[in-house]
């Protein structure tokens, strides 16, 4: 069954029905119903009422995703959703360069008139049960409020840095020449290449997801309601192949000094390190610009080592992708490991999807094998007890097991076990979510 037609979870549907609410899929062929869902989604995130052009654009793509809504028959506008969610599967890049099916959850909203009625719980539990029923081993989302999702077993797995760079202090210390060329280009012309570049960038980046054309189109400004504000630049390598792109906005300084513009880099996506460095130099050396802001960058972004003065940049770190492992053996065997080890994981999962004791054996070639342990842990294995949220945080190698143990989040059942995990779970680059969703 195609994912977009997978039924809503009946446990959640029955729970909401007892509260007089209907939980069902949106009919992608019903224009009016789709438009009302989109309006409810925008309302939930405090957005403006979507323009007719945006509604028409979304209608063309909504059938690619599993779109769910909750309705209240007692409402004066009973055909207008009081809650929304949307989900789809996409490949998640894991350490070692492989990928795993990922249940992407988005557009989780509840109308302020319907708070504290168990709707959000029904939505999220329903998504987890639907993912498990469809055999998808891991789910993920990005969050507006960080205090909600841990109770459902999600743990933050990637972080992102936001930079504010004072260009007057920059003394370029990167390569003096690049073999390729930069081109200013319109978003619509960029889009086909941007899709290919985003795919290549995500494939080499733990935490990267597969992105379709509508998703990339909104990011580069070829689709959506922000296209007028964005400018685009593309980097082509020495053979003329597009290898990176960036989208950005320019703002005039508040004091009227024309030489002190502010540039905000919305996206900088590169399939090669060469392209990434070239695009950074473009922004750091723009004329009439005093400040470069770049939100949501990877925590190991090389830009700090290109500035000549580390203090030219102010950095704020925030959470990005939250993961929730549903099938422990499938998830752990999908990724590669940095060291050979024998590790026992006592996993606590209040929902039961991933609860149990598991033996993870990692080999020198990076492979891992997992089996469930019913009795005592094998002698000599490093052993820890942890929640499924914390195991999900560790999954991509971006969170320190030693740090979690020091915080009391992981219990070391054998001395030094957290350090064994640290060495085995390490990734060759910090995980990063290339585009939010």
**Residue 38: HSE in the Cβ half-sphere, 13 Å Cα cutoff:** 25
CB of 66 within 8 A of CB of 296? no
- What is the sign, positive or negative, of the torsion defined by CA atoms of 25, 27, 33, 36? positive
Q: What's the confidence (pLDDT) of residue 288?
A: 94
Residue 279 tokens read as: 């695009």
User: Residue holding tokens 């190991």?
Assistant: 300
Provide the strand spans (E) within 309-367.
Answer: 313-319, 322-325, 341-348, 356-362
CA distance 92 to 324: 12
CB of 102 within 8 A of CB of 209? yes
What is the DSSP pairing of strand 261-270 with strand 242-251? antiparallel
Residues 8-38 have pLDDT tens digits of 999 999 999 999 999 999 999 999 999 999 9
Which residues lie closer than 8 Å to 184 by C-beta, 6 or more apart? 231, 232, 233
pTM to 2 decimal places: 0.92
CB of 264 within 8 A of CB of 272? no
Q: What's the confidence (pLDDT) of residue 226?
A: 67
CA 424 vs CA 140, 172, 369, 380: distances in Å: 23, 36, 13, 16
Q: What's the confidence (pLDDT) of residue 177?
A: 82
- What is the sign, positive or negative, of the torsion defined by CA atoms of 37, 42, 48, 52? negative
CB of 221 within 8 A of CB of 265? no
Q: What's the confidence (pLDDT) of residue 57?
A: 86
Q: Which CATH number is associated with domain 160-318?
A: 3.40.630.30
CA distance 34 to 60: 10
Q: Within the chain, which residues score under 50 in pLDDT?
A: none
CA distance 132 to 289: 50
Q: What's the confidence (pLDDT) of residue 373?
A: 94
User: Residue holding tokens 């719980």?
Assistant: 121
Q: Do the first three CATH levels of 3-136 and 160-318 match, i.e. the same topology?
A: yes
CB of 355 within 8 A of CB of 347? yes
Residue 246 tokens read as: 């960036």
Q: Which of 233, 251, 315, 247 is nearest to 288 (CA)?
A: 251
Q: Which of 163, 161, 174 is nearest to 291 (CA)?
A: 163
CA distance 82 to 109: 8
Q: What's the confidence (pLDDT) of residue 375?
A: 85
Q: What's the confidence (pLDDT) of residue 62?
A: 84
**Domain made up of 3-136: CATH architecture:** 3-Layer(aba) Sandwich (3.40)
User: Phi and psi of 16, rounded to 5°?
Assistant: -70, -35
CA distance 187 to 335: 35
Provide the strand spans (E) within 307-405.
Answer: 313-319, 322-325, 341-348, 356-362, 368-372, 382-387
CB of 42 within 8 A of CB of 52? no
Domain boundaries, given as residue ranges, for the chain: 3-136, 160-318, 325-425
Q: What's the confidence (pLDDT) of residue 2?
A: 64
Sheet holding 368-372, edge to edge: 368-372, 356-362, 341-348, 382-387, 411-412
* CB atoms near residue 435 (< 10 Å): 19
Task: List Cβ<8 Å contacts ≥24 apart for 252-260.
Answer: 253/290, 258/288, 259/288, 259/290, 260/288, 260/289, 260/290, 260/291
| 325-425: CATH superfamily | SCP2 sterol-binding domain (3.30.1050.10)
Q: What's the confidence (pLDDT) of residue 7?
A: 87
Q: What's the confidence (pLDDT) of residue 218?
A: 87
């Amino acid at each position: 069954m195609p994912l977009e037609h997978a039924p809503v979870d009946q446990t959640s549907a029955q729970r909401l029905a007892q509260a007089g609410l209907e939980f069902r899929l949106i009919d992608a062929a019903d224009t009016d119903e789709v438009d009302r869902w989109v309006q409810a989604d925008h309302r939930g995130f405090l957005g403006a009422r979507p323009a007719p052009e945006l509604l028409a654009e979304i209608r063309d793509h909504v059938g690619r995703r599993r779109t769910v809504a909750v309705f209240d028959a007692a409402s004066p506008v009973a055909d207008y959703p009081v809650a929304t969610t949307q989900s789809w599967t996409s490949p998640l890049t894991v350490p070692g360069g492989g990928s795993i099916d990922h249940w992407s959850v988005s557009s989780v909203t509840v109308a302020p008139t319907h708070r504290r009625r168990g709707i959000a719980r029904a939505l999220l539990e329903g998504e987890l049960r639907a993912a498990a029923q469809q055999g998808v081993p891991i789910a993920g989302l990005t969050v507006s409020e960080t205090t909600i999702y841990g109770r459902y077993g999600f743990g933050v797995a990637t972080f992102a840095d936001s930079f504010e760079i004072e260009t007057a202090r920059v003394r370029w210390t990167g390569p003096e020449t690049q073999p390729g060329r930069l081109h200013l280009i319109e978003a619509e012309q960029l889009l086909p290449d941007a899709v290919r570049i985003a795919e290549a960038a995500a494939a080499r980046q733990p935490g990267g997801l597969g992105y379709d054309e509508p998703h990339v189109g909104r990011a580069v400004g070829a689709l959506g309601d922000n296209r007028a504000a964005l400018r685009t630049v593309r980097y082509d390598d020495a053979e003329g192949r597009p290898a990176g792109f960036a989208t950005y906005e320019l703002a005039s300084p508040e004091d009227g000094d024309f030489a002190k513009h502010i540039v905000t880099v919305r996206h900088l996506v590169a399939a090669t390190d060469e392209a990434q460095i070239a695009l950074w130099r473009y922004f750091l050396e723009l004329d009439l610009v005093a400040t470069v802001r770049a939100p949501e960058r990877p925590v190991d972004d090389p830009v700090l080592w290109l500035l000549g003065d580390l203090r030219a940049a102010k950095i704020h770190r925030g959470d990005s992708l939250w993961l929730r492992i549903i099938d422990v053996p499938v998830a752990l065997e999908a990724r590669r490991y940095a060291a050979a080890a024998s590790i026992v994981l006592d996993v606590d999962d209040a929902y039961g999807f991933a609860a149990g004791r598991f033996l993870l054996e990692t080999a020198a070639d990076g492979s891992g094998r997992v089996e469930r342990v019913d009795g005592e842990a094998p002698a000599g294995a490093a052993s820890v007890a942890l929640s499924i949220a914390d195991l999900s945080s560790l999954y991509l190698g971006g969170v320190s097991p030693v740090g979690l143990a020091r915080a009391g989040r992981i219990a070391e059942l054998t001395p030094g076990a957290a350090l064994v995990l640290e060495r085995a779970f390490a990734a060759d680059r910090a995980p990063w979510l290339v585009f939010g969703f």
